[in-house]
Amino acid sequence: MKNFLTGNEAVARGAFEAGVTLASAYPGTPSTEILENVANYKEIYSQWSPNEKVALEVAIGGSIAGARTLAAMKHVGINVAADPLFTFGYLGVNGGCIIVSADDPGMHSSQNEQDNRYYAKASKIAMLEPSDSQEAKDFVKVGYEISEKYDVPILLRLTTRICHSKGLVEFDDREEVGMKVYEKNIPKYVATPANGRKLHVVVEEKLKKLEEYSNNTPLNRFEWNDKKIGIITSGVAYQYAKEVFGDTVSYLKLGFTFPLPKEKIKEFANEVDKLYVIEELEPYLETEIKAMGIDVIGKEVIPIVGELNPDIIAEAILGEKREAVAKNEEKVVGRPPTMCAGCPHRGLFYELSKKKNTVVTGDIGCYTLGSAPPLSTMDTCVCMGASVSAGHGFAAASKFNGRDTKVFGVIGDSTFFHSGITGLIDIVYNKGNAATIILDNRITGMTGHQENPGTGYTLMGDVTEQIDLVKVCEAIGVKHIEVINPLDLKATKAAIDKAMETEEPMVIITKWPCVLKKSTKEEIEEYGLDRKSCVVDSEKCKKCKMCLKAGCPAISFDDNTGAIIDDSMCVGCDVCLQICLFDAIEKVGE
């Protein structure tokens, strides 16, 4: 039976068929749907972890216990998980373990476009790169066989196009492999320096055996056609190359990309007249091949920046400028991303935007859009959790050097659990005066509404303990805590004003559900989510455009009639109503 699956869905299916019994992740585009789909297979215990480091450590523990395990994350999540990853490369596995890195060439939803193929080499673990959904499923299954045969974790490197593109996938039955026997083995699993020195020697021997496997596995295959041109490629770049060249050139299609099949590469290079490497982002393959003394063309013509596509490859190698549908620049209106109509973060950023002599250090999430016009409130965005710790650094440096600047670190609830807590501990411990604002919208918003430790539910749908943000902050030692409705501009202003005057650590928790969240009956009752829209009385509107300063996409402006509210978008959050100086905006039915 064949099914039409995304790469993420195929990875989940592969985990099911391979007999995986434990999977963990932190949601992050483009990897999120892997665990969401794994959770549909009740034969697998699946969980959201507070961050990627924890997710990988959970998978490592399950592997040592003897289970086949999987940990999934986006490319920058590997940075968070790098600490256990590098040690895991030394320890090896008991039950097989696959670590999914979903890279994001082109930065569709990421702060950088790092190439995580280098992580496999640096951490000395094997790497697989599927080129379509069928391979995504198949490579997961063969990955567990390699993992257990060679006692090595596997990095499964995906990219956005593999994660989200769909293809036909042949289903197979689940293989119930069961748990391997766990035997206490201190020299193998206890990473002390004495043990680590011996394990490093073992790892290098494993890599020699894995390179031999790489030279013989059908995962790395020749596709012989005309030998005037040969192309070495992997991942989705293989699909792009095939679309451009078809069967007019020969290919060395690599699916097992660390260790590289050096003998196979030499054999291929000797058979073709001109050799190209087509790969996205870094010259990972190209550098290794050139180090072997092989003449190859790569980044001289293929861009090192951005996502590839067939048009780019055709122009780079063949000099062909492919025709594209022309767009009328005069008629195409730019639509920058913006917070949704009714977003609970809008009121907070509106009030922050009015403050002078303040700096707002931001974080990763929907609220990063607080940096966009007309709010333009955010000064920095580095990585998960940096709003708090970088905010402290900014404030500490300013204070120490005699500069009077109030710093607000703005972070989401899920991101706070991920890596904001330690930053807040740092502020308290070092007597900082940066204020931390935790935006609790009752869900993990930007990645598509996943549960987190503050929602009261697990990935598998079980009711669980709801972590109380106030109690966490109190336990850390924060004495000044305000919980507010961020859509109430007066309350929001009052909390910010208090923080401006407070020289001790202070936390403001804005608590209101994401406007797109499917609210529970309890939430509807608690927050009064009546969803009545607002309207503009054009007779009262003075055309001052103050309401536009909130940046709500439901509000537009007509030079003749003034402000207009689209009732199909408005949910009645009342922010514009509170901003209006002339009572020209009112609630429908009130």
Q: Which tens digit of pLDDT belongs to each residue from 92-137?
A: 999 999 999 999 999 999 999 999 999 999 999 999 999 999 999 9
Residue 589 pLDDT class (50, 70, 90 cuts): low
**CA 7 to CA 10: how far, in whole Å?**
5
CA-based nearest residue to 177, from 147, 219, 207, 203: 147
Looking only at Cα atoms, what is the longest distance across the chain?
82
Q: Given this model, what pLDDT does residue 590 score?
A: 62
**Strand duo 154-159 + 97-103: pairing:** parallel
Residues of each domain in the chain carrying CATH 3.40.50.970: 2-216, 345-527
Residue 184 pLDDT class (50, 70, 90 cuts): very high
**CA 231 to CA 253: how far, in whole Å?**
8
CA distances to 5, 163, 166, 581 from 16, rounded to whole Å, are: 14, 17, 19, 59
Residue 368, token pair as written in the block: 């990063």
Provide the whole-model pTM: 0.93
Q: Given this model, what pLDDT does residue 478 score?
A: 98
Q: Which fold has domain 534-587?
A: Alpha-Beta Plaits (3.30.70)
Residues of each domain in the chain carrying CATH 3.40.50.920: 220-318
Can you tell me whether residue 120 is helix, strand or coil? helix
**CA 229 to CA 185: how far, in whole Å?**
51
Give the other-Cβ count within 10 Å of 271's Cβ: 14
Q: Residue 531 pLDDT > 80, yes or no? A: no
Name 229's bridge partners. 274
**Average pLDDT estimate for 574-588:** 94
Asked whether the beta carbons of 324 and 311 are under 8 A apart, the reply is: yes
Burial 105-118 (b: 16+ CB within 10 A, else e): bbeeebeebbbbbe
How much of the chain is in helix, strand and coil states, percent to nearest 5? Answer: 40, 20, 40
Residue 396 contacts by C-beta under 8 Å, 6 or more apart in sequence? 430, 432
Residues of each domain in the chain carrying CATH 3.30.70.20: 534-587
Q: Is the dihedral of CA 128, 129, 134, 137 positive or negative?
A: positive
> Would you tell me which CATH number, out of the four given (3.90.420.10, 3.40.50.180, 3.40.50.970, 3.30.70.120), belongs to the domain 2-216?
3.40.50.970
CA distances to 45, 204, 255, 346, 486 from 350, rounded to whole Å, are: 43, 56, 50, 6, 10
Name 99's bridge partners. 71, 155
CA distances to 361, 389, 396, 469, 500 from 427, rounded to whole Å, are: 14, 7, 9, 16, 16
Residue 185, token pair as written in the block: 């083995």
pLDDT in tens, 423-440: 999 999 999 999 999 999
Q: Does domain 345-527 have CATH number 3.20.20.100?
A: no
Residue 281 pLDDT class (50, 70, 90 cuts): very high
Q: Which fold has domain 220-318?
A: Rossmann fold (3.40.50)
